[in-house]
Structure 1
Amino acid sequence: MTTLPLMPKATAVWLIEKTALTFEQVAAFCGMHPLEVQAIADGEVAQGIVGYDPIANHQLTQEEITRCEADTTARLKILPTANQVKRRAKGARYTPVARRNDRPDGIAFLLRNFPQLQDQQISKLLGTTKDTIAKVRDRQHWNSQNIKPRDPVTLGLCSQMDLNAAVAAANDKLTREGHEVPVPLPLGNDEEG
């Protein structure tokens, strides 16, 4: 699996300006076509892009560049630590003040369309409390007259990937226990249950 450097065009600009690598080597490292690299070298493309130093940003070493300058058939190899993506720490999820009033709508949507989700899963998805979920379910929420079930993904309260994973986990648990998986309601139906 080939991984590209951060900001490939800016990296290509730096490699063209500062090294004696061939266009093919730069193109292979940056995931570009050799003609595009040649156009960058000729000044036809990427005008005004400041070069991005892959050595200072721990994507390459000077030894790797020197090795490839000596052998024109060699390919640059990106450092393995350069592309490690830091995972978000588990914990409370921040919801902006403007979206906090949308949480009960998202809770109502999940309760109506995905009854197999447990309160703990909804709480984790939307960053809310079990007490709020119970109040929305029992229509005891202070704003229950104005709650309309709306998709929490479109409200920006959770990602579609997280929602799909939670629903899949809940469905798996139901099938393991021998229960039937409920079919979600059509999304166009905004009337409450």
Structure 2
Amino acid sequence: MSILAVLASALGLLVAAPLTASANSFSPHADNSAHSFYFDDDLSAAQKNGVNWARQNSLAPTDMTTSVNATYNTKVDVWVYSTWNPPSDLRNAYAWASCIRRVNAAKCEQHELVINNRVPHSNYKSLGCHEIGHTVGLGHASGKNSSYTTPNRSCMRGNPDHNYYSTHDKNHINGAY
């Protein structure tokens, strides 16, 4: 068999093989598939309702389960609050998610999801979807995720304008949890 035939055969296998689900890595991500949330009382009704809607709807159907805690404690997976005083490097950001209690370099026991009151967003459902995505390991959309067409449209775009994860994103979540 010629080397050209071997290369053509290998290329055919690569093209025919299904792609595994993956997404831009955003580390650290949640340490378990049961994601609990605490909504601080400093959130506006629109902010709280939008993020809570995303919690209930955007992750469905995936292998993640969610709940809401009535009080804050160190076992809460995602603490959601707003601020009028963002760090200087985040002054122009609508919101951000970051790990505040690590398990190790790749996993986080507790995230904060902070909404910037100085930069209002027009759709807190999509913003909540986007930031919750970071807490479960999704990065900003690229490739399949960046499509404007459904089902490949995703709230993980850099400027979220959609309330759901793409099929690709959901496959990534299900593969991780």
More strand by share: 2
Higher normalized contact order (CA 8 Å, seq sep 6+, divided by chain length): 2
When the two structures are superposed, what TM-score results if normalisation uses the length of structure 1?
A: 0.26
When the two structures are superposed, what TM-score results if normalisation uses the length of structure 2?
A: 0.28
